[in-house]
Structure 1
Amino acid sequence: MTAIRLLLVDDDPLVRAGLSLMMGGADDIEIVGEASDGSEVPELVDRTRPDVVLMDIRMPSIDGITATARLRARKDAPEVVVLTTFHADEQVLRALRAGAAGFVLKDTPPAQIVDAVRRVAAGDPVLSPTVTRQLMSHAAGAEPDTRQVTARTRTDALNPRERDVAVAVGRGLANAEIAAELYMSVATVKAHVSRILTKLDLNNRVQIALLAHDAGLLDG
């Protein structure tokens, strides 16, 4: 089995050392590089080709949100998991909107951080619907009405079946669960998810869930 290539980005050398120690103990994870600021990320990604980037949010020059947005806009971008101190943080929500596939707290048990990297590398978001709702209620946008109108306009581009799948993704269902609920094959669900991502110019399932929430599709 090919090891998951991991890039660590944090401005605290002690945090990087701790992450390196815990990740280095996993047989299926290879640490290919470390960075102390978001400004170092593009060159390191080009050189090391990571599958996953574990990214601190708060850094002195270029923060993790900006670095994530720039990284996820690239072709064949690696997945990003953001590191944070507080789970109900507006910065976390901004990072997810920028394209992060999830987040972990810095005091999360090592085994759970390792599991998060594995899950994201496999294409699964590290974010539960409950946490999404907590984030939304704690860190609502400054212009929620405008955001809702914009989100509804974007989701209007979906056909009824795609909308059903988007809602199911927003509820945190896995592909197999969506397939069972909507009476379609897993392959068909995957095809719908791919079309939704392309049609709405999104880059992962977390962004589908956030857009569905913003549009009010998860209400009721």
Structure 2
Amino acid sequence: MHTIRVMIVEDDPFWLERLTVDIGAERDIEVVATASNKADTLEQIQRCYPDILLLDIHLTGNRLDGIELLRDNPEVIHCPVIMLTSMVEQEIILEAFAYGAVNFLHKSSVSDIIQTIRDCYQGRMAIHPDAATVLRKGFVMSTQLDGLTPVEKEVFKLDQLGYNKPQIAAKLNKSFATIKNQLRTIRRKLGRIIERE
């Protein structure tokens, strides 16, 4: 039986130790490398050639986004990537999959992570429930957004990220009245209220 070679990229010492110990305790999985920053990650991948990469999505201690690492280094990151997080955010999950992640899990779900490693290695790519609902909503939303103009899509995205009307106006260099009217148009097109007070 081949031992599944796993690399963990995590900058929080608590989570790094917990994941390394719990995953390494499995008979069929070996943690061959760990890293906490971009340089070490890219070096270790080329040195160890892991079968699976577990990549934390918020490498806050190093001011590095796991998605940024995945996006900017496709020629180095040659193995399947399972993204780990401590929170579930729709925009981030969709972006992770867009740049090639094969799954997305909450890092506290260690037993799920272990099973996902095995499934991924064996080519079974069932999306974990942490991400499945978000992906479904994202697909439905992207279909609905097809009816919006490019400018309306930009306004809508900022609205969904929590920007208020004055902030959207400033960011897009438009008047408050214009943004207010565009949000009303978007609300009408999507058939639901998205406007923020």
Residue 81 (structure 1) aligned with residue 79 (structure 2): no
1:84 CA displacement: 1.1
Q: Which amino acid aligns with 2:66?
A: G
The DSSP-based 3-state class of the residue aligned with 2:64 is coil
Match of residue 96 from structure 1: 97
Deviation track 1:91-135 (CA, whole Å, cap 9, x = no partner) reads: 121111110000110221x32211111111112224158943434
Q: Which amino acid aligns with 1:132?
A: A
Residue 120 (structure 1) aligned with residue 115 (structure 2): no
Residue 21 (structure 1) aligned with residue 21 (structure 2): yes
- TM-score, with normalisation over the residues of structure 2? 0.64
- TM-score, with normalisation over the residues of structure 1? 0.58
Structure with larger Rg: 2
Mapped to 1, the partners of 2:147 and 2:65 lie a distance apart of 26
1:130/1:113 CA distance change after superposition, 3 Å:
closer
Match of residue 70 from structure 2: 68
Deviation track 1:2-27 (CA, whole Å, cap 9, x = no partner) reads: 11110000110110000011011101
Say if 1:9 and 1:38, in contact at 8 Å, map to a contact too: no
| Aligned CA-pair RMSD | 2.9
Deviation track 1:117-160 (CA, whole Å, cap 9, x = no partner) reads: 1111112224158943434536957x94289xxxxxxxxxxxxx
Deviation track 1:67-97 (CA, whole Å, cap 9, x = no partner) reads: 22244x2278111000012234311211111
Match of residue 32 from structure 2: 32
Say if 1:39 and 1:67, in contact at 8 Å, map to a contact too: no
Match of residue 155 from structure 1: none
Match of residue 43 from structure 1: 43
* Identity across matched positions, percent: 28
Say if 2:2 and 2:28, in contact at 8 Å, map to a contact too: yes
Q: Which amino acid aligns with 2:70?
A: T
Q: Which runs of 5+ in 2 are unaligned?
A: 149-197
